[in-house]
Structure 1
Amino acid sequence: MPKILNVRNLEKTYSSGSTKLTVLHNINFDIEEGETFAIVGPSGSGKTTLLGICAGLDRPDTGTVQLCGTYIGTLSEDERAVLRNRNVGFVFQDFQLLPTLTALENVAVPLELQGSKNAIQISKELLEKVGLEDRFHHYPSQLSGGEQQRVAVARAFSNKPSILFADEPTGNLDTETGGRVIDLLFNLNKESGTTLVIVTHDLELAQKAQRTLRLKGGRIVEKSEILF
């Protein structure tokens, strides 16, 4: 299978005054097109930093990231933004919906940025798929946490991404609501053939993925494979 993400010899260090903290040490892994992949580890293990670098939101100090066939380390900020808009979807722990836009408008934003003439119709269909056909015109403040995350999931799939990064997608939800959101995420992922990368400290959630990578102290301590 072709590799959609290739990470080699990744290192990341942050400086605070005279103190330096290396948060990622010699990270190497690949992700194949269409697979589900979980990055797990305790708080402070470097999971979110690694996701940000893989998605082109941040840069490593050393090492390379090849995303969707492109080495992103040499791209400008604008070039990386174009790559993300075309190929990448995001789901965050804190939803990151625009408060002044309705659910429908939030989902339509990535499509409109791409110049889609059918942005509203596609957004309605996606919101229907996540069970929010009666919430089109509600603002985030009028929605529950679970409903906001379902809007975020619909938005993440709106540009038909090649790869979707989910950072602690159930972190702000109760167990039952979080379970429903995860089922939705995996079902939409299977339907669309998107590659799904989930960052989580939840081992039960990680076990739903085909493969897992475990971090501790910024180092890979285990790579496992679950065959279905």
Structure 2
Amino acid sequence: MSKILNVSHLGKTYTSGSKKLTVLDDVSFDINEGETFAIVGPSGSGKTTLLGLCAGLDRPNTGSVELCGTNMSDMNEDQRALLRNKEVGFIFQNFQLLPTLTALENVIVPLELQGNKSAAKTGMDLLDKVGLQDRFHHYPSQLSGGEQQRVALARAFSSRPSILFADEPTGNLDEETGDKVVKLLFDLNKEAGTTLVIVTHDMELARKTQRILKLKGGKVVTNEIVTAP
């Protein structure tokens, strides 16, 4: 089974005046293609920083990240952006939908950027799968939090990414709505065969994945297998 993500001796430090804050310290792990993986830990443990480094949104001070066979240390920002557009999907806690676009338009933005001629049909099919077939032309302000996150799910899977990063995907949802979104996330992921990396403080959600990496104070505490792939 080939590795889709390889993180080696990663370190991230921020400087404020004369003070240095170490957010991540010598973090190493890898993820197989098609694996579901959770990153957990208390607030301030470095979870979101780690996700950003894994996705090439930021650069580490030390160590390296290899994504889809490419070492991002050797890439400039434009090259990393091209890699993300081709290989990576994102889901965020605060949905990050474009407020001036309808649900359908939000979903098909990545496809249109790629020049996909069947973007509208793909978008409608995905919105149908997440139960929003009667919300194609609604704007984010006309949708509930759960509906907005379902639009975000459809958008994330629209370009069939190799790896999907979800940062606290149920953080702004009530328990019942969050459970529905999680089921959709795992169902869509299984159907697409995507590698799924979830950052969460919710251990119940984390235990639905195959492996859990626990951070504390920027260091890896445990890297445990939950269920076999």
Q: TM-score, normalised by structure 2?
A: 0.99
Structure 2 counterpart SS, 1:93: coil
Q: Distance in 1 between matches of 2:154 and 2:122?
A: 10
Q: Distance in 1 between matches of 2:176 and 2:227?
A: 26
Aligned match of 1:183: 183
Quick one: which amino acid aligns to residue 136 of structure 2?
A: F
- Note the C-alpha offset of 1:17: 1.0
Q: Distance in 1 between matches of 2:196 and 2:225?
A: 15
Structure 2 counterpart SS, 1:204: helix
Question: What's the CA shift string for 1:19-60, capped at 9, x where partnerless?
Answer: 110000000000000010000001100000000000000100
Aligned residues, how many?
A: 228
RMSD: 0.5
Aligned match of 1:134: 134
Q: Which runs of 4+ in 1 moved over 3 A?
A: none
Aligned match of 2:102: 102
- Note the C-alpha offset of 1:226: 1.5
Alignment of 1:53 with 2:60, yes or no, is: no
- Note the C-alpha offset of 1:74: 1.4
Q: Distance in 1 between matches of 2:214 and 2:41?
A: 6
Structure 2 regions of 5+ residues with no counterpart? none
Quick one: which amino acid aligns to residue 94 of structure 2?
A: D
Quick one: which amino acid aligns to residue 201 of structure 1?
A: H
Structure 2 counterpart SS, 1:90: strand
Quick one: which amino acid aligns to residue 208 of structure 2?
A: K
Quick one: which amino acid aligns to residue 124 of structure 1?
A: M
Structure 1 regions of 5+ residues with no counterpart? none
Q: Distance in 2 between matches of 1:222 and 1:71?
A: 25
- Note the C-alpha offset of 1:190: 0.3
Question: What's the CA shift string for 1:181-213, capped at 9, x where partnerless?
Answer: 011000000000000000001011000000000
**Identity in percent:** 73
Q: TM-score, normalised by structure 1?
A: 0.99
- Note the C-alpha offset of 1:72: 0.8
